[in-house]
Amino acid sequence: TLLKTSKEAASGEKLAGLAPEPDRQLDSDEREDIIQFSSGGEPRTLAVKRVKVEGGHVLTFDDITNQLLDQRRAAWSDVARRIAHEIKNPLTPIQLAAERLQRRYADEVKSDPATFGQLTGTIVRQVGDLRRMVDEFSSFARMPKPTFREEPVTEIARQAMFLHEVAHPGLDFVLDAPEPSPLLVCDRRLLGQALTNVVKNAVEAIELKKEQGGEGAGDRIEMRVSEAGGKLVIEVRDTGVGLPADRGRLTEPYVTTRAKGTGLGLAIVKKIVEEHFGQIEFEDVAGGGTLVRFQFDPELLERLALKIREEQAANG
């Protein structure tokens, strides 16, 4: 499974040809080690132990990739909580002071009123940017537990698209979703937030492509809701700059490809999807762009909601 190959294809092959990283462990002086391993282009971290036996070696390993990600996410959550607290306190007096300067002294400054207005306006705008950043920190650090109810997914998807469609009339937004809508046990607000973040990233990816001189005609963002193999699938496809080379770290906190990004958007999205016991995947789109795919198990979520209702009934 880790090698992304079949038993038949791997049988009889040398380990060095299939997985050079674990193979190098055979010649190491260390009996235990942590190694980075590429699994079908996806980075994994393995805790490896080597035992020499007659005629060769036995390698045993634990895939600790997700464990390390969880540890990093917990650490970043604590950092975000501290940052949000320390930054938020001085923001209000700074903003109020700058706004009072604008109102009280704008007419009295005669030497260079344009510069005075520009500088106080800059303070107010920068405080607004900091406030939005703090809100993202708080969202990541204090993500509420989902409240599960049966919701129409098409309606949630339509609302997420509509918010950006109004703000970006120059882009072509397309929603491909069945009617009547499939139902999913989910937290409507959190799922809507996740979809809104993904569409926001798609818009920014298209804008970045234009800044880099890419073709702007025909740019579009398409969201598709479908059911396949017992799963409910939501896909968001864009015509932007595409995925970065280090795509395996996209959902890690504070990893961003944008100059002004906090790197929390996709970390929050991943957290929401995981709270719904779902999966998130990223793929390149032929001709340029990105495909983000959510997959949820409706039966699993329905059983979870039933269990929660039973526990609530038992507790009065």
Residue whose structure tokens are 């950006």: 164
User: How far is it, in rounded angstroms, from Cα 80 to Cα 140?
Assistant: 7
Per-residue pLDDT tens for 254-263?
A: 445 454 444 4
Query: For residue 262, what pLDDT is reported?
Result: 45
Residue whose structure tokens are 């926001």: 200
Highest mean pLDDT out of 6-20, 22-36, 203-217: 6-20
Q: What is the largest CA-CA distance in the chain?
A: 91
Tell whether the model's pLDDT for residue 219 goes beyond 90: no
User: How far is it, in rounded angstroms, from Cα 37 to Cα 314?
Assistant: 47
**Contact in structure between 278 and 295 (CB atoms under 8 Å):** yes
Long-range contacts of 212-218 (CB under 8 A, 24+ apart): 212/241, 214/241, 214/288, 218/172
Query: 80: how many CB neighbours lie within 10 A of its CB?
Result: 23
Per-residue pLDDT tens for 41-57?
A: 667 788 888 888 888 88
Q: What is the pTM of this model?
A: 0.58
What does the block give as tokens for 59?
């390698």
Per-residue pLDDT tens for 179-188?
A: 899 999 999 9
Residue whose structure tokens are 């039933």: 306
User: How far is it, in rounded angstroms, from Cα 288 to Cα 208?
Assistant: 13
Highest mean pLDDT out of 6-15, 69-78, 130-139, 290-299: 290-299
Stretch among 69-83, 197-211, 276-290 having the lowest mean pLDDT: 69-83
User: How far is it, in rounded angstroms, from Cα 183 to Cα 26?
Assistant: 52
